[in-house]
Chain A
Amino acid sequence: MSKRNPDYENSFWQKFAMWCSGDYDPAKGKFEMKKPGQKSKGPNIIGKLMHILAQEESIYASERDKNLRTFNRFYIIVSVALGFLLTILLLVTVSQLPRFGDANAPENNEVARRYIEKGLEETGAVNIVAGMILDYRAFDTFGESCVLFVASCCVLMLLKEKKPEPEKRYDPVNSAILQPAARILVPIIIIFGIYVILNGHISPGGGFSGGAIIGTGFILYQTAFGFEKTGKFLSEKFIKVITVLALSFYCFAKSYSFYTGANHLHSVITPGTPGAILSAGLIVYLNICVGIVVACTMYSFYAAFRRGSF
């Protein structure tokens, strides 16, 4: 006598037999089928995307115009030809200019003579170039530092992100070669930069070159150790405040100098002893300001391109 399963109705094989004959559906009651396209809650991403694409299409349609393409080809040929023409023209022009280093050239006139002969006496700067750019023509140099300032504002405007990108993605932090090298190099680079800035009125160099050197030091440090460590001493706020302080000091100091100069008033600024570190009137302080602005601008350019924030 065969053994009968008392719960035969619910057994696996009975169900299988029933499924084969079509009386039983195991999926019934477990899956919900809905009619498509009734109501879709949540954002309609595809619709929005299509909308944006359609807009872009209408915006850029003119650029896919066939006539325009032909015209563009023509345009390339003409512009290359024009470039060659301009090059030849400029070469011919340059060949007709007075020779470089010619003692009788027009640029060796009374302007240059005074810079060379009286520069040391009037500005107190052994480095005549520093005396020219930071004392004789300081207004132009103030404009130049504002060029850097507006350029960094422009880059920030273009690249600034609300949330800076996480750094782990492409940072070579904890590199066994980079970190020890940076540990040795960064202090030397920064000290050299400070030296170049502080001696700007005595030896070749000055705010622009020294600031660039310090900026590369910061960038090297960041590359080796990551934004987290750099942020401890170069936060966004710190960079902003120090840039503003440097430019404001430049602005006030030079305004005082311009105002007294134009109104023929007595100025408290004196050239001092030529050759000393604290000499040459305002030049050493202005060099420091320019150096700070340049270093901060270089680092903020790098950081903005790297992760969209300082």
Chain B
Amino acid sequence: MTLVQNFPFFCIILSMFSAIISFVLSGRQAKIVHLAMTGLVFVMSLFVLQYTYMTGSSYTYMMGHYPAPWGNEIRIGALESLMAAAFSLIMLLSVIGGIYHIDKDIDKERQGLFFIQLDLLLASLLALIYTNDLFTAYVFIEICTIAACGLIMARKIGRVYVSAVRYMVMSLIGSGLFLIGLSLLYAITGQLLMSPARIALQKIADTGQYEVPMAVIMVLLTVGLGIKSGLYPFHTWIPDAYGYSTTSASAILSSLVSKGYIFLLIKLIVRVLPYKSIPGAQMENILFLFGVVGMIIGSVDAIKDKNIRRMISYSSVAQIGYIYMGIGLGNNAGADAALFHVISHGLMKSLLFLAATGLIDCSGGRLDRKGLTGAGYRNKVAGVGFTIGSLSMIGMPLLAGFVSKFMFASAATSAPIYKMIIAWTALAISTVLNAVYFMRMVLVIYTPVGAVKASRLKRGAQTDIEIKPESGEKAAMLQKGPLENIGIIGISALIIMLGTYSQVIIDIIRNGFALFD
């Protein structure tokens, strides 16, 4: 076994160890440890990606001295390492893009804890990506849930606690359903490793035993992960959780945490749950239906909301709907499109959150359209970033969003005819609705205002619940924010790269997905 093959294990252990060691470090040191660790994880994941793509195969890695059904194991292929690289890069850029806001929004003595939670979040996401064992998946789902909850409530303002409690309740219902489903699965198969569990389930499905438990298991596992990722009817926790936490937390929650669960669900569908072999179970169609409804309703809600950050959060509901629609199409092309959208939406959403915060800061903390008038002139980088993100969301060619919409549309052609028509109609309607609210916001931030009014808007009436910066120095830092601009520029460049050189990524996803089974 070469050294490169050890890297995924190193990534997981490294992120957990940096969380542990950060407990005795100060906030500043914890921040440095976190940034260095995330960068290292990204580099190592790139090496693994290169290795797996070149060899064109996947391998299992034994966690300990005992082979798989007895010990733990992780499984690494091109797709997994691509996701690990993308997730760590997005996390790195999101933290850099909101680094001054972490200073400003979170008390000094809590910053260390904040970075511990970020470290463990990355560890759990990596473990969810790589794991080949259902119970390991459950353990890391728990870590992910608690860490995400901590990220939401790191900012000490009233509304955050309401949203953190709501998130906690919804998320725990999701994990609870998942755990019940898992126990039932173990009771009828006696396996926790994915591939043997699939063989056992297939045998049960063929003999026609345990019909009710089979259906219940599928529903519970799917719905559990659906709730946690914010699928349409269970999306009520999203706008508050994403809308009021600190910038980096919002960006990471919306672009990574929900995607980790979606990736796990895709893995379950491919490796464990025999969706296709049970004729009565309409799971794919149900996911498709909820996805399509979510695409429309999420966009409508986003149009209705005046608060820019809540608007972006509602847009997440719609985008998660896209992903579930792709899964629900039931063919490989649909899953490829969903996986591509996981990455492209991760980039777009974190960019939009970071840029929106930049715009809000130069408008005296106002979140509504009136207050943000002309903000694109006051903070040029954030304005351009927001525009690129919005155009990509709408599906402008040369940007990442276009590629994923194109992939969804072409995947729909090989689906049954009624699904094709529904998917195309939903894509068209949703694109128009996206354009309505994103273009409206872009037009608002580029509406010129006079110099006098601009300075008044810049000072702004404090209608937001922003906490004022403690000292003048910090305020000055916030005004300039060169590091935060690096985050915004970096993600914008990645979106353009993903839009123009998409074929490489699509190839990796396609080859990786073929090996996924």
Contacts and interface: CB of A to CB of B under 8 A. Distances in A.
Given A59-B159, A97-B188, A248 B143 contact: no
Contact of B140 (A90, A143, A153, A254): A143
A140 interface: yes
In the complex, which range does the number of interface residues on chain B fall in?
35 or more
A62 to B, nearest CB: 10
A121 to B, nearest CB: 12
Interface stretch (A110-118, A193-201, A209-217): A110-118
A262 B1 CA distance: 8
Contacts of B465: 55, 59
A262 B62 contact: yes
Classify chain A: how many residues form its interface, as a range: 35 or more
B206 interface: no
A248 B17 contact: yes
A103 B150 CA distance: 45
Given A56-B158, A146-B123, A261-B64, A96 B9 contact: no
A89 B17 CA distance: 42
A59 B136 contact: no
B408 to A, nearest CB: 32
Interface stretch (B210-218, B344-352, B381-389, B496-504): B210-218
A96 B150 contact: no
Given A58-B463, A90-B180, A98-B188, A244 B23 contact: yes
Contacts of B147: 150, 154
B234 interface: no
Given A96-B212, A136-B70, A157-B150, A244 B136 contact: no
Interface string A220-249: 000000000000000000001101100110
B186 interface: yes
Contacts of B72: 137-140
A188 interface: no
Contacts of B190: 105-109, 111-112
Interface in A148-186: 149-151, 153-154, 156-158, 160, 162
Contacts of B135: 137, 140
B368 to A, nearest CB: 11
A244 B116 CA distance: 12
Nearest to B184: A93
Interface stretch (B85-93, B106-114, B423-431, B471-479): B106-114
Contacts of B140: 143
B48 to A, nearest CB: 14
Contacts of A257: 64-65
A150 B143 contact: yes
A26 B479 CA distance: 61
Contact of A93 (B110, B143, B213): B213
Contact of B64 (A58, A241, A258): A258
A145 to B, nearest CB: 10
A19 interface: no
Interface in A59-80: 59-60
Contacts of A153: 23, 113, 116-117, 150
Contacts of A243: 23
Contacts of B120: 146, 149-150
B142 interface: yes
B360 interface: no
B213 A151 contact: no
Nearest to A122: B66
Interface string B138-176: 011011001101100110001100000000000000000
B188 A259 contact: no
A14 interface: no
A137 B135 CA distance: 10
A138 B61 CA distance: 14
Given A153-B23, A154-B146, A106 B65 contact: no
25 contacts: A92-B212, A96-B212, A97-B210, A105-B187, A105-B190, A106-B187, A106-B190, A107-B187, A111-B190, A111-B191, A112-B190, A114-B70, A122-B66, A139-B63, A139-B136, A142-B16, A146-B123, A150-B120, A153-B116, A154-B147, A154-B149, A240-B23, A257-B64, A259-B6, A262-B1
Given A139-B72, A143-B136, A244-B24, 6 more contacts: A60-B159, A92-B212, A153-B117, A247-B20, A261-B62, A262-B9
Interface of B: 1, 6, 9, 13, 16-17, 19-21, 23-24, 61-66, 69-72, 109-110, 113-114, 116-117, 120, 123, 127, 133, 135-136, 139-140, 142-143, 146-147, 149-150, 153-154, 158-159, 180, 184, 186-191, 200, 210, 212-213, 216, 463, 465
Interface of A: 55-56, 58-60, 89-90, 92-93, 96-98, 105-112, 114-115, 122, 135-140, 142-144, 146-147, 149-151, 153-154, 156-158, 160, 162, 240-241, 243-244, 247-248, 251, 254-255, 257-264, 267
